[in-house]
Structure 1
Amino acid sequence: MHPNGAFRFRADDPALAFVAAHGFAHLFGMTPDGPRVAHVPLLVTEAGTVRFHLAKSNALAAHLDGEPVLASIGGPGSYISPNWYADPAANVPTWNYRTVEIEGVVKALDWDALGELLDLTAATFEPRVGEDWTMDKMAPARAEAMMKAITAYELVPDIVRTTDKASQNRNEDDARLVVAALERIGDTGGAAAIRRTRGW
């Protein structure tokens, strides 16, 4: 996380809502062979926990149950050129970005919870792409075989850290110059992030 306290999610912008909206993470954990990372879809539960699944063949899968992990959930970012400020010679390049880190202990879930997770995964992500696939569309034997190859997990957050870096440390004139430059190069999302944090 960026150490500058200006780059934090606001109280009215909950971190887990960002996690739910983004829905994908880098999950870091330890194995006997050293640290490993898994790339996983995430679902936030009503209880505020995070659920995901991994292939049993994943290097982390056999080492997660009961162990601490770090999940990093990042949105898109924007490179910021010093040339976009009023005084380019007094500045250096940087990135604006938005991310959440969650630390906590993971527990493996049972077969029924795995089925519920897969149903929830489809119900959450299929509408985002305008589709309606469900596990019911699979032949039962095929669904069971595929489920036997994965494990569901739940991460209970102990620590949640946030960064929402969108030029908050710049004066109004520089921020407007950066917005104009981002729009000029087609990075409308980066420009919108600055507007969002400043209430423009």
Structure 2
Amino acid sequence: MSSSRPLPSEAQLQRLVFAIRDLNHANSAIQFLLEECDFSKSYPRLALRKFKLLESAAIVAFGRLFSVSGGGTTPSFRLAGIRFSPADERIKKRIMDLRNTTVAHSDEEMMHYRVDLIRPMEDNLELAMPHLQIDDTLHLDENELGEFDRLVRELVYKYVFDISQTHPELVEKYVTPAASASNGG
């Protein structure tokens, strides 16, 4: 089999492999969230935090696909033969906007919280205990989460498949970190 697309560099290939890992992490977080969260129900604050944690993990893992690594590379969707549809671009933009403003970074204009001071002692009004309430509702509604799930699943299965078929010798390898080799591990 041959491909008309250029072959990825070694750095790009390694990013492709780690992109699969990131997609699998995003996929797992979404699946755990979908298994546990019924969008028609109300939940106690601790459960909402767990759901928010899973949603955040999925968003951050997905976002790594579009961020430059320490080595200066990003996974190349073009090299992998992947084209995003307009619907895919919309959900990708929504996820990346959440990642860049709220989930992986704390932009002040996106913060949603309330702090009340509770004065537990009537005879000592100087003693005030802060009561912090942060919005722990999900950023994505049920339909957006479904679209995110679909996009991640498609990317997991498409991402390295073509190059694995056309150039298996580039993909089939065992790589260890240089740091563990120098430490005898």
- TM-score, structure 2 length as denominator? 0.27
Q: Quick one: higher RCO (CA 8 Å, sep 6+), 1 or 2? A: 2
Which structure has greater helix proportion? 2
Larger Rg: 2
- TM-score, structure 1 length as denominator? 0.25
